[in-house]
Homo-oligomer: A and B are copies of this chain.
């Protein structure tokens, strides 16, 4: 299936925080809720989104922006497996998405007929956390094979998020991974973050993730 690929330009705005606040307000005025998804490469952002969107799409109209340095495999996968609107954002080598780049993607995807947009950020635990994209909710995914020490080593991406999804829990028997240690470190850095363990592959606990989003969307 073909998807549109957008080559992003470098932001012209000096002040990303102001631009992000303006974008957030603009989206609110249009009734659109934006979710920024961050993780290491290969933690399962796309698979998690596919599973979640297939549960949420009956109750709201969803669009997805897939940011990558190169290739359009993720946008194609989302479109093929969910049927929702999806665009690929090429960052031209950039390691993150800022508010201006996010706005370019939203202009291209067209938000008039959408209630919920997911931005899958570049797979990177460092730089994306430094740039407010204008999202209403930041979600960080940690996958079991990466190890339980990631919140210790990459603190900012855990401080800046509202939700931590721990993916690939089906692989727990094959890896040393201390759940309690992760919870302890995340809670110390970020008291407000909810932590939801799932397996996008087997579907375990996806009902909990779905309920979380339905609760958040109904509050808005």
Chain A interface (Cβ within 8 Å of chain B)?
40-42, 68-71, 73-74, 93, 95, 122-127, 130, 143, 145-147, 149-150, 152-156, 168, 170-171, 174-175
Contact = CB atoms under 8 A, between A and B. Distances in A.
A32 to B, nearest CB: 27
Nearest to A149: B73
A170 B68 CA distance: 29
26 contacts: A40-B42, A41-B125, A41-B146, A41-B153, A69-B126, A69-B154, A69-B156, A70-B152, A70-B153, A70-B154, A70-B155, A71-B152, A71-B153, A93-B126, A93-B130, A95-B95, A95-B126, A124-B124, A124-B125, A124-B126, A124-B127, A126-B127, A145-B168, A171-B171, A171-B174, A174-B174
Most chain B CB within 10 A, of A41, A69, A171, A175, is at A41
Given A126-B124, A126-B127, A73 B152 contact: yes
A126 B125 CA distance: 10
A68 B171 contact: no
Contacts of A93: 126, 130, 156
B95 A124 contact: yes
Given A127-B127, A171-B174, A42 B145 contact: yes
A93 to B, nearest CB: 7
Given A40-B42, A41-B150, A42-B147, A155 B69 contact: yes
Given A42-B40, A145-B143, A123 B153 contact: yes
A170 B145 CA distance: 12
A147 to B, nearest CB: 5
A42 B150 contact: yes
Contacts of A174: 170-171, 174
